[in-house]
Structure 1
Amino acid sequence: MDRRGQQVPAPGAAATRAEAPAPATALSTRRQLLLGTGALGALAAVGAGSVAGRRLSSGPVDPRTEISLWSQTVAYDATGSRTLVSGDAAPLELDPDSRWAAELAASSPVRERAAAFRDGTEQWRARLDERLQCGTTGDSPATTAQLGSLAATALLDLWVLSDALPAPVAGWSAPWRYVWPRDAAFGAVALSRIGHREQAISVLEHLGTLQGRDGWFEARYVPGTDRAPDRRPRQFDGTGLLLWACDEVVQDLEGPAATGALERLSPLITRSLSALHGSTSAGTCLPPVSPDYWEVRERSVTLGIMAAALAGLRAGARLTGSLEARRAAEAFALLLEGTFGATGYQRYRSGGGADSALALLAATGGADLATAERLLPLRESLARPGGGIAPGAAWREDGVSWTPSTSLLGLALARAGETGAALEVLSWLAEHRTEAGSLPEKVLFDGRPAEVAPLAWTAANVLLTLDTLARG
């Protein structure tokens, strides 16, 4: 099963059945109401130097690979309830540049919460705007208007999937309406960066209440509960990534605010660091075998689990200031370099091909190991015909680009100092939003958005990439 509950063949295996072509999706005729004229104009800006323009052929693609677009976005309807909009769902007329129905009462708490969320991002938006006006895009195909539009819609996507919830859900389609610790970690960091630091701390504090005594997390949770919706195996990457998120959020604070956050997050920090130290023998051994973001059972430790463990160990060393924690992080970095690094940072220690988890390593502070020289080839080795990348070289050849992996690569490139390449990824993401402006999970071989939209992890990655570029 893949990360969102869909049947997946074993990596590298052929699909067990050909999916019948889906009927053409009826697009809304109220595009300017869904997006606003400024965003619509930005979407029309397509650069010849985009990721799609630079990709290599990724081999034969089954033209029958069709996945419908389940929704163009998620919005609050006139009753104040979240609902899927357009695509395979029912249409809904929205206020311009919003995620709520035009008929929603002016006095609705939804509008009040949306206004408060937007107000909280004012400083971040102003800084990003200033940076864009100063020529951040350079020779990139991305335009200032396009990036501004992308930022606006990513903010809306993250808001609608986290509003009035203890933690962001991955998406709003039924199999996605759960809290994944991995996704929530990135969501929390993004919330902190855009100005909602209290909400970010609350998200991490909530995840801390879900953590097992041994420091592990379930693969996902029913929102507002500590229950897993199924029996899929626990996943170890949440432990390291949430510890990384704690460090990132605390770094955004100063003085008493930072001290208060550390106190609130202390249980999560302590359990996570203890689990990482215990499972790796203070950084000298590989972590336990666990599913990662591919969401399949594994027999060997993957690069994704290694990247999350290193991120957590390094974060723990910074948060605690402990000499023991610092030595464990240093030892694990050497272990990673001597094992996975010795074979080119493939999915497994002994092979498995390129994996977008290399971008996870760089995106969470491991750019010293996942250098720009290693990251840039992922755009070719994992390329898909639609212009994005697949999760890995061993992933099935279905022609589908995955925006979580593609946006994570953009963030990794930005943090590795590859501004132009990061902007190209952002431009591609902007060009492949839905008609409503939301970022989908998948993009088909011919460039059409597909399946779930919006997706919280992709929105968070986009915001973090823009933030990294704005900080210059």
Structure 2
Amino acid sequence: MAVDRIGPPRGATLKKVRRTAALLLVAALVGTCGATTFPGQGGPGFASPGLVGGGGWPFAGVPISVENAAGASYIPGSSVLRLKDGRVRLVPFGTGTTITVEGSDPQVEAAVLSDNIWLDGGLVPNGGKTVPDDSRRVYEEMAKRALLDLRLLTRPNGASLASWYGAWHYTWPRDSAFTAAAFTMTGHESEAQRILSFMARVQDEDGQWAARYHPDGTAVADGREPQLDSLGWMLWASWLFRDRAPAAAAELPELWPMVVRSADRLAKSLDAEGLPPPSSDYWERKPDTEEDPRRPTLGVVGPVLAGLRSAASLALGVGQHHKAAGWERAAQRVSEAVTRQFTPYGYPRSPVRGGLMDTSVTFIAPPFAPADPGVTDAVANALQRTRLPNGGVLPGEKWSGNPGVAWTPETALFALTAAASGRPGEAVSHLDWLAAHRTSLGVLPEKVDERGNPASVAPLGWTASLVLLTLSALERPLPTPTGH
């Protein structure tokens, strides 16, 4: 169903009111800020190394071409771009197109201060004392860029786009869940609230979501079936939001009905073995292409288990004990099915002897599930089998795509699991690789090619969210849903 654009959520705190007032004041200021540089270069055919934005509401992003990005850099803590010739490119308040002005133009400092104020209104994770000082400085810049990019990718109505270009200019429930989680953990509650509100409005009455949506909230009619893992991820993000931002969650009446629809749908979908039906997962391919088409992949089962546990924990938190008990029983059935059908084979993608390993084994590890030694070993096995010479990873063994191109979301998932499992050295290794393979503007891309160049699109919202969650997990433990 279509939805209308909405403004900032109601019930803003006094702090947010003051921030808004500050944004109005900076419009009268003039001056310039220094620029900084980042490692990495855009690869051949690279769509854009990043987005140009500006201060004010609504936040709008416009891609910058590879040619115009040469020698350019963002003014620190902003989405305002200083070009090689010293002029500045930004998106003026209330518009959706870029302008190029002299550095002394009043709009420059107004836009920069607007972005700075927004960042100051939350947390910028950098890994804390668990990482070396030099890495911490790099991570802080990477986190600022990731946060600013996520803000530009999140529309005023709460639609969180995967990226800004072509086939990525859509909202996937899966990606939106991680963006909401990243905003939650960094204290940007209004943004997380808008995303969850959008997802509640577009959810079907039967608890499902379409595979993806246009920015206005209408479902994309391209023949893709609903993807069952999205229910689990949205339940996990909703629980995390309720756990870490209870006051903001109380201002979102749509949250509990969305949780009920999703969790009831998952609980009722389980078969006699305790497994959900086969469905497309984060690989987005048809179930009949899997090693065992009769049963769901771990990429579905993991999020379903995390989602049911999250729903049960959330229900307990709001005093809905009857619902909590039912969803906890369903989660236990899924957990027992995993033990019977995936554990004996080492947690492969499909539950078959000698099954191929992929990144989805991280979905049954922290922060999505309690730590388990067998799963920890399986994560290490999957990483070894999917790692490429360039340091990144493929989505899985025998990947049907380019076998030499690494994917940043999968690399970041291994980083997140390591950070949440108390292996900071491993997490730092992945983060260092991600930081070193950003675009020339310091933006996280979707892929890295054989030569180490960023490839595909940048920014990619899922990678940005995962990096922020990883840095947050290094600073303080992320909560893990247990279902009770």
Q: What TM-score, normalized by structure 1, do the two folds share?
A: 0.78
Note the 1:160-239 alignment, pairs <5 A: 160-239=152-231
Where does residue 75 of structure 1 map in the other structure? 52
How is 1:397-412 mapped onto 2 (pairs within 5 angstroms)? 398-412=403-417
Partner of 1:348: 350
Aligned match of 1:270 in 260, 282, 294?
260
Deviation of 1:212 after TM superposition, in Å, equals 1.7
Instruction: Encode CA deviations 1:298-352: one digit per residue, 9 max, x unaligned.
Output: 1221110001100111011101122222222122111112111221110101153
Single out whichever of 156-165 and 422-431 deviates more from structure 2. 156-165
2:479 equivalent to 1:452 = no
Cα pair 1:121 1:195 within 8 Å, conserved:
no
User: Contact (CA 8 Å) 2:345, 2:355: kept in 1 or not?
Assistant: no
1:374 matched to 2:378? The reply is yes
Q: Which residue of 133, 137, 145 maps to 2:131?
A: 137
Asked if the contact 1:352–1:394 (Cα under 8 Å) also holds between the matched residues in 2, the reply is no
Counterpart of 1:374 in structure 2: which amino acid? A
Large movers: runs of 4+ above 4 Å: 77-81, 88-95, 105-118
Look up the match of 2:303: 308
Distance 1:359 1:453 in 2: 24
- 1:431-470 Cα offsets, whole Å, 9 max, x none, are 0000011100000112111011110000000000001111
Q: CA deviation at 1:471?
A: 1.0
Task: Give 2:277's aligned amino acid.
Answer: P
- Contact residue 70 and residue 88 of structure 1 kept, 8 A: no
The alpha carbon displacement at 1:222 in A equals: 0.3
Distance, in Å, in 2 between the alignment partners of 1:308 and 1:468 is 19
5 Å-filtered alignment, 1:390-469, equals 390-396=394-400, 398-469=403-474
What is residue 122 of structure 1 aligned with on the other side?
Answer: 120
Q: Distance in 2 between matches of 1:391 and 1:416?
A: 21
Distance 2:472 2:361 in 1: 21
The counterpart of 2:392, out of the listed 382, 388, 394, is: 388
**TM-score, normalised by the number of residues in structure 2:** 0.76
Distance in 2 (CA, whole Å) between partners of 1:458 and 1:84 is 18
Rounded to whole Å, the distance in 2 between the matches of 1:404 and 1:341 is 25
Which residue does 2:234 correspond to in 1? 242
State the Cα distance separating 1:165 from its structure 2 match. Answer: 4.6
CA distance in 1, matches of 2:409, 2:216: 24
Q: Which of 59, 63, 67 is the aligned partner of 1:84? A: 63
Distance in 2, matches of 1:220 and 1:233, equals 10
Aligned residues: 407
1:16 matched residue in structure 2? none
Q: Give ranges in structure 1 of 5+ residues lacking alignment.
A: 1-32, 45-65
State the one-letter code of the partner of 1:457.
W
The structure-2 alpha-carbon separation of the partners of 1:82 and 1:259, relative to structure 1 and needing over 3 Å to count, comes to closer
Question: Which amino acid letter does the alignment assign opposite residue 290 of structure 1?
Answer: S
Aligned 8 A contact 1:313 1:329 in 2? yes
For 1:345 and 1:310, the matched residues in 2 are separated by 14
Cα 1:217/1:176, change in 2 over 3 Å: same
Separation in 2 of the partners of 1:252 and 1:113?
A: 30
The alpha-carbon distance between structure 1 residues 248 and 225, as it changes in their structure 2 partners (threshold 3 A), is same
Taking structure 1 as reference, are residues 331 and 216 closer, same or farther at Cα in structure 2, changes over 3 Å only?
A: same
Q: Which moved more, 1:370-379 or 1:89-98?
A: 89-98
Q: Where does residue 80 of structure 2 map in the other structure?
A: 100
Residues 108, 235 of structure 1: alpha-carbon distance in 2 compared, 3 angstrom cutoff = closer
Give unpaired runs (5+ residues) of structure 2: 1-31, 82-87, 97-106, 317-323, 478-484
**Hey, what does 2:279 align to over in structure 1?**
290
Q: State the match for 1:326 in structure 2.
A: 328
Letter in 1 for 2:460: L
For 1:59-74, list aligned pairs within 5 A: 68-74=45-51
Q: 1:106 to 1:181 in 2, by over 3 A?
A: closer
1:96-144, CA deviations, whole angstroms, 9 ceiling, x for partnerless residues? 2332352447766788787556434436546x46x63xx3215x9x722
Partner in structure 2 of residue 5 of structure 1: none
Q: How many Å apart are 1:83 and its aligned residue? A: 2.3
- Corresponding letter in the other structure for 2:332: E
Amino acid aligned to 1:313: L
- How far apart are residue 197 of structure 1 and its match? 1.1
What is the RMSD of the two structures over their aligned residues, measured on CA atoms? 3.1
